Amino acid sequence: MRLFHYQTVKAVDAGERTKGVKVRWLITEETGARTFAMRLFEVEPEGYSPLHTHPWEHEIFILKGEGIAIGEEGEHPIKEGDVIFIPPDERHQLRNTSDEKLMFLCLIPLKPTH
């Protein structure tokens, strides 16, 4: 068993085409995971993840804050306790539209989905 607080994992810049987004890779292959990885994202006010598409799914749980999720059918408000499933190949983006930090878990498969 590996047990640690999420804040003990370094938050790193989430990369290109993001604004004000840090990511902590909580559970990865290094931890021992074989199937999927757990990441925690922190998005500053007015920040956003990239509007992008990829061939793997996302399983998301909103921990804190408010914002919008943009999918192929438009925008949806998001708040603490919301669950989002984004299937492979669907264009998506999460944006913080509030004055507070938006925090969410986003899990992805470690191996190609197709």
Interface with a second copy (CB under 8 A): 1-7, 9, 26-27, 31-36, 38, 57, 59, 61, 63, 69, 71-73, 76, 78-79, 81-88, 90, 92, 105, 107, 109, 111, 113
Q: Which is nearer to a second copy, 20 or 107 (CB)?
A: 107
Q: Which is nearer to a second copy, 36 or 97 (CB)?
A: 36
CB 63 within 8 A of CB 26: no
- C-alpha–C-alpha distance, residues 20 and 26, integer Å: 19
Kindly tell me the burial class for residue 13, based on how many C-beta atoms sit within 10 Å of its own C-beta (0-12, 13-18, 19 or more): exposed
Q: Which is nearer to a second copy, 10 or 111 (CB)?
A: 111
